[in-house]
Amino acid sequence: MPTVGCSFFTQLVCLETATIKLEIWDTAGQEKYHSVCHLYYRGANAALLVYDIARKTTFTRAKLWLRELEKEFLHDEIVIVLVGNKTDLAAQREVTFEEAEEFAKSKSLIYMETSAKSNHNVTEVFMAIAHELLKQEQQKEPALQPQPWKKSRVDLREPSNQTKKCCTN
C-alpha cells in the first residue's frame, strides 16, 4: 500500500559494535507533497530514494529528488541509497538493474533492489544505511580524539630577559 502524505516510524538496527536508532520519515515522494518534503529531510543523516522498477517515470522522479537533496546537503554529509522497489514485478521491469546501478555509481550512491510486498531485501537496506552511518561516524571520531603520539608542551617559566610592566609607571 503506497504512503499517503507523510508517515513516521523508528527502527533499531543492531550491529556488532553498536545499536543505531533510525528515525524514518516516509514522505511518499508524490508531487503534491514536494513543497513540504524539505521540512522533513533537513538535518537528515540518510535518505532513501525509492522508485518502482516497473515504472520508468518513477526512476526519473527519483533523479529529481536526488537533485533536491544535492541542493540541501554536501555529498559527504548524507548517506543516500537508491532503492529499486517491486522486484516481485520483474516481468514488467522498465528500469534494468544495470541502468540503475550505473546511475547510482556515477553519483556515489548505494544501490539496492527490494520488494516491500514480499519483504525481500528490506531489512538489508536499513542494515546498509546503519553500517554506512557507523562507518562515517568512526571516520569522524579520530579527528576529535587527542593523539597520544603528538605531545604538546607548555613552558610555564618566564623568559629571563622580559621586564614586568604591569601596574608600574
pLDDT confidence of residue 137: 86
Distance CA 25, CA 90 (A): 27
Residue 150 has pLDDT above 90, yes or no: no
Give the pLDDT band of residue 157 (cuts 50, 70, 90).
low
**pLDDT tops 60 at residue 144:** no
Q: pLDDT at residue 136 above 80?
A: yes
> Could you tell me the pTM of the whole model?
0.76
Q: Which of 74, 78, 77 is nearest to 49 (CA)?
A: 78
Residue with cell 510486498: 117
Tell me the Cα Rg of the chain: 24
Kindly list the domain boundaries of the chain, sorted by start residue: 7-144
Q: What is the mean pLDDT of residues 138-156?
A: 57
What pLDDT does residue 9 have?
A: 84
Q: Which CATH class is domain 7-144?
A: alpha beta
Kindly state the percentage of the chain with pLDDT values over 90.
47
